[in-house]
């Protein structure tokens, strides 16, 4: 199959031969050196930013079709962050591309050392459906900035956005080096069969294992942006009014809970829980009214499969009587109202699986410090949150809890700070990106040592006399005084 045929219809005609030809063509383009050029990188980044502006209405419509995402949420969480990513790269790229000086030890004197950032080559980005624009383009932006040729595989679970990206991205960027492949799971499998220089995957841990296994066949490095059950610890010593608004915003205002860093469950004290629940109820009513299923400010569940999964969590015999707020469902509209549950068993399904939806369990403890042991006994989360005015508790939380990222007195906002790395640890992922970390994720840090022909020391070459041995020993351990003595032929006493 010809490359032009692949361009015209990537969904129907993408097969094993097309996958092989695609990678071959991209390797040829990368070998030409065009993607390494600073000017090429800048022009591509500017055009991605322009695309996000020019196609704003089309993006709104695609996100509405896929998730019924409110326009303001689409702009704040997807379009603006995509543009901000481009702007960060454009501002810093020349500095990041410049070789970094490194110290050269006495053993190699005279010499100079540097670290050169070079692109990895041809990379694959496999995106997910909950933020189908941002989580597709943000890694691609990093790959372009680092000088790679890249293939983007958008999620088929968000078909409108996938189709939109396949249609508009080639109009703005160099389609010989940046390609979009649509398709179902079979297309992803065909891509994973190929040899890449890096694979960047965003999604769940189950598929992450498949991606890592496929990459291992070619010793391909991976970045896995996964998820997990991100806890929120609420200390009674907090500003309750602000706390509940920020929890509600991070849980239901970010894709109705369908977010990797969404608050998954709350831990608070038994005595404080009633106040917290009452305040959350009032906040939810203020945000979404008395009939949240009809609110225009809530996204819907992405599809029937995920709706049924969430319903199964609610219908579990262990938790069905634990609902203290919400629980309304509308299968026809794929809607579930913001739902709060109190003291669900830790062995229930809702506490074993990542929720990824509008359900929020609250677990109570006698003392807030007990929350640390509870969190630490579970898989390491992608994010961990603490609300408190107690600075000592804050420092204990930071020092004790292992998580991909952490936020004190708010939720989710840390992923918008491009000077911070974003990524998981343990079961929540490996590797990170955003800003400079995206550039680094798609770069190889090449060590370069420069030496001239002067100053060649005879002591490094055999035969090794006692004097040469003394010189070499002094050089290796950095003993300047011992080196002087050895050069003078004086024994060290």
* Per-residue pLDDT tens listing for the chain (493 residues): 333 333 433 444 689 999 999 999 999 999 999 999 999 999 999 999 999 999 999 999 999 999 999 999 999 999 999 999 999 999 999 999 999 999 998 888 899 999 999 999 999 999 999 999 999 999 999 999 999 999 999 999 999 999 999 999 999 999 999 999 999 999 999 999 999 999 999 999 999 999 999 999 999 999 999 999 999 999 999 999 999 999 999 999 999 999 999 999 999 999 999 999 999 999 999 999 999 999 999 999 999 999 999 999 999 999 989 999 999 999 999 999 999 999 999 999 999 999 999 999 999 999 999 999 999 999 999 999 999 999 999 999 999 999 999 999 999 999 999 999 999 999 999 999 999 999 999 999 999 999 999 888 888 899 999 888 998 888 888 888 888 888 888 877 6
Percentages of the chain per state (helix, strand, coil), in multiples of 5: 45, 15, 35
pLDDT value, residue 376 = 96
Question: Do the Cβ atoms of 283 and 248 come closer than 8 Å?
Answer: yes
Catalytic residue status for 55: no
pTM, two decimal places: 0.93
At residue 487, the pLDDT reads 81
Give me the catalytic one of 225, 331, 370, 394: 225
Q: Please tell me which residue in 55, 254, 260, 354 is annotated as part of the active site.
A: 260
Please indicate whether residue 225 is annotated as part of the active site: yes
CA 84 to chain centroid: 16
Token pair in block for residue 394? 């804050």
The whole-angstrom separation of Cα 54 and Cα 71 is 16
């Amino acid at each position: 199959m010809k490359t032009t045929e692949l361009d015209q219809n990537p969904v129907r005609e993408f097969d094993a031969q097309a996958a092989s030809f695609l990678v071959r063509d991209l390797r040829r383009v990368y070998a030409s050196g065009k993607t390494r050029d600073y000017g090429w990188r800048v022009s591509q980044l500017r055009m991605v930013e322009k695309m996000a502006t020019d196609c704003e209405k089309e993006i709104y419509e695609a996100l509405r079709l896929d998730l019924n995402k409110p326009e303001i949420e689409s702009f704040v969480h997807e379009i603006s962050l995509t543009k901000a990513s481009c702007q960060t790269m454009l501002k810093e790229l020349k500095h990041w591309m410049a070789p970094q000086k490194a110290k050269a030890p006495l053993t190699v004197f005279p010499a100079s050392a540097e670290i050169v950032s070079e692109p990895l080559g041809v990379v694959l980005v496999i995106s997910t459906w909950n933020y189908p624009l941002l989580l597709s383009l943000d890694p691609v932006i990093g790959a372009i900035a680092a000088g790679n040729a890249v293939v983007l595989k958008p999620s088929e679970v968000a078909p409108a956005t996938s189709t939109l990206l396949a249609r508009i991205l080639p109009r703005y960027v160099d389609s010989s080096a940046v390609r979009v492949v649509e398709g179902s799971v079979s297309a992803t499998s065909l891509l994973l069969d190929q040899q890449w220089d890096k694979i960047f995957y965003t999604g769940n841990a189950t598929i992450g294992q498949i991606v890592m296994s496929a990459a291992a066949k070619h010793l391909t490095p991976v970045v896995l942006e996964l998820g997990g059950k991100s806890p929120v610890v609420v200390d009674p010593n907090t500003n309750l009014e602000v706390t509940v608004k920020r929890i509600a915003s991070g849980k239901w205002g970010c894709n109705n809970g369908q977010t990797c860093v969404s608050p998954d469950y709350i831990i608070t004290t038994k005595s404080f829980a009633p106040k917290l629940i009452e305040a959350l109820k009032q906040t939810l009513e203020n945000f979404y009214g008395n009939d949240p299923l009809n609110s225009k400010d809530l996204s819907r569940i992405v599809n029937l499969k995920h709706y049924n999964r969430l319903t199964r969590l609610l219908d579990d015999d262990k938790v069905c009587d634990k609902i203290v707020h919400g629980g309304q469902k509308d299968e026809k509209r794929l809607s579930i109202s913001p739902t709060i549950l109190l003291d669900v068993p830790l062995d229930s399904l809702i506490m074993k699986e990542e929720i990824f939806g509008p359900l929020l369990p609250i677990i109570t403890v006698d003392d807030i410090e007990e929350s640390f042991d509870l969190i630490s006994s579970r898989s390491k989360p992608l994010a961990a949150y603490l609300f408190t005015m107690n600075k000592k508790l804050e420092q204990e939380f930071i020092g004790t809890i292992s998580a991909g990222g952490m936020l004190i007195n708010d939720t989710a906002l840390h992923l918008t700070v491009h000077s911070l790395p974003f990524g998981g640890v343990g079961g929540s992922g490996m590797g990170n990106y955003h800003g400079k970390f995206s550039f680094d994720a798609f770069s190889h840090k090449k060590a370069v040592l420069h030496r001239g022909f002067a100053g060649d020391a005879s002591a490094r070459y055999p035969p090794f006399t006692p004097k040469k041995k003394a010189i070499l020993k002094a050089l290796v351990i950095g003993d300047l005084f011992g080196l002087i003595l050895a050069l003078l032929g004086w024994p060290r006493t």
